[in-house]
């Protein structure tokens, strides 16, 4: 780990968070670092967050997400299967429709177009690409631009389509030191187990599971203190920005057209599916939009927490999307051979 690089990354990320907060940008502690670290990386500065510190941020966010699980949320989950069906239809439409558009408009070959169009699961997508003739640098760059665009566009899209500012949830008091330490230990253990089992976003989902069980059973009370929660979001946003380290502007411009097309398609399809889910099931539109937005699992889970959407609903949909892609992407690749 290069301490100097880490220090400048965190300094840029913290500056972005402060600036976004002052400007009143939605989800400032996530979007501010993501945007400013991205700009710093494109300007040639080395930006990096080591895996251990990145996972610490995921654990903090997961602990905060689980604190919102209540008996009422569990009861409402009985209405979610239809929402998951709509999600799967949206994922399939983005995957096949995006792949077709990339081939027709930009002349990409079949493997590159499908892997570029996959709405998430980047590590899995790139591993599949090793067994094909896909242009992997192109795939990685298009996917990174797509995730960054969705991260920046989702909050204002939620505010625009809701028609009014989101109303913050009633704040919980912070957990006491003993409860916080016990939860952190359980979150770390379960997160490591989830990651070893190959569960997507294992550290975040394990921490959320530990917190949800503890809060749902009445063993824990209160939220993660702000002095811990805010650094978790800053780490997440900074991590998103580091994906552009070492990439020059010419490479960005070559991939920008495909990323823009895919982002537009993803926003349109996922918004329609979210509208349907919200209307049919009586769900808050803000939660449905974040749940259906095909960004990173960790990023959108953090977004749900910052925008006061139901974190359990959002997290479930993003994990199902990732698992669905494990089957749909090989199927889409095979049909083009």
**Tens digit of pLDDT at every position of the chain (337 positions):** 688 999 999 999 999 999 988 987 766 887 789 889 988 988 889 999 998 998 898 899 889 877 766 665 566 666 788 999 999 999 999 999 999 999 999 888 999 999 999 987 665 676 677 667 888 777 878 887 887 788 777 777 776 766 544 444 445 678 889 999 999 999 999 999 998 987 766 888 789 889 988 887 888 888 889 899 899 889 988 987 887 777 777 777 778 888 899 999 999 999 999 999 999 988 888 888 888 988 766 667 677 777 677 777 887 787 788 778 878 988 898 855 4
CA angle 174, 25, 264 (to 5 degrees): 115
Residue 308 lies in a domain: yes
Residue 43 lies in a domain: no
Residue 10 lies in a domain: no
Distance, in Å, from the CA atom of 129 to the CA atom of 108, rounded to the nearest integer, reads: 14
Residue 187 lies in a domain: yes
Residue 310 lies in a domain: yes
Distance, in Å, from the CA atom of 180 to the CA atom of 203, rounded to the nearest integer, reads: 17
Contacts of residue 56, defined as CB under 8 A and 6 or more positions apart, other chains included, come to 232, 235
**Domain range spanning residue 298?**
54-214+248-335
Distance, in Å, from the CA atom of 250 to the CA atom of 69, rounded to the nearest integer, reads: 45
Contact 62, 187 (CB under 8 A): yes
What's the full length of the chain, in residues?
A: 337
Residue 110 lies in a domain: yes
Distance, in Å, from the CA atom of 159 to the CA atom of 270, rounded to the nearest integer, reads: 16
Reported pTM:
0.66
Residue 272 lies in a domain: yes
Distance, in Å, from the CA atom of 189 to the CA atom of 53, rounded to the nearest integer, reads: 16
Number of separate domains in the chain: 1
Residue 184 lies in a domain: yes
Q: Which of 158, 117, 161, 165 is nearest to 290 (CA)?
A: 158
- Phi/psi of residue 237, each to 5°? -65, -40
Contact 176, 286 (CB under 8 A): no
């Amino acid at each position: 780990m290069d301490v100097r690089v880490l220090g400048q990354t965190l300094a840029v990320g913290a500056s972005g968070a402060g600036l976004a907060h002052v400007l009143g940008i939605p989800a400032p502690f996530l979007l501010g670092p993501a945007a400013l670290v991205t700009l710093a990386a494109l300007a040639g500065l080395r930006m990096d967050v080591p895996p251990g510190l990145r996972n610490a941020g995921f654990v903090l966010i997961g602990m905060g997400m689980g604190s919102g699980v209540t008996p009422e949320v569990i009861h409402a989950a009985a209405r979610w299967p239809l929402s998951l069906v709509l999600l799967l239809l949206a994922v399939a439409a983005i995957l096949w429709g995006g792949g077709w558009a990339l081939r027709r408009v930009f002349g990409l070959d079949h493997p590159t177009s499908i892997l570029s169009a996959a709405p998430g699961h980047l590590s899995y997508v790139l591993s599949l690409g090793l067994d094909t003739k896909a242009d992997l640098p192109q795939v990685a760059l298009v996917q990174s631009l797509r995730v960054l665009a969705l991260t920046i566009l989702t909050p204002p899209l939620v505010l625009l389509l809701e028609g009014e500012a989101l109303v913050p949830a009633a704040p919980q008091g912070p957990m006491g030191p003993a409860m916080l330490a016990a939860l952190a230990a359980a979150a770390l253990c379960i997160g490591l187990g989830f990651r070893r089992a190959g569960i997507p976003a294992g550290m975040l989902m394990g921490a959320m599971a530990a917190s949800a069980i503890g809060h749902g059973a009445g063993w824990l009370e209160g939220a993660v203190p702000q002095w811990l929660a805010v650094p978790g979001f800053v780490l997440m946003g900074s991590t998103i920005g580091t994906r552009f380290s070492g990439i020059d502007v010419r490479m960005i411009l070559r991939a920008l057209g495909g990323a823009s097309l895919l982002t537009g398609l993803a926003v349109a399809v996922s918004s329609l599916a979210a509208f349907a889910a919200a209307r049919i099931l009586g769900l808050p539109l803000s939660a449905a939009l974040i749940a259906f937005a095909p960004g990173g699992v960790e990023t959108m889970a953090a977004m749900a927490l910052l925008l006061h959407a139901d974190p359990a609903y959002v997290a479930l949909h993003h994990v199902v999307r990732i698992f669905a892609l494990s089957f749909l992407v090989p199927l889409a690749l095979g049909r083009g051979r």
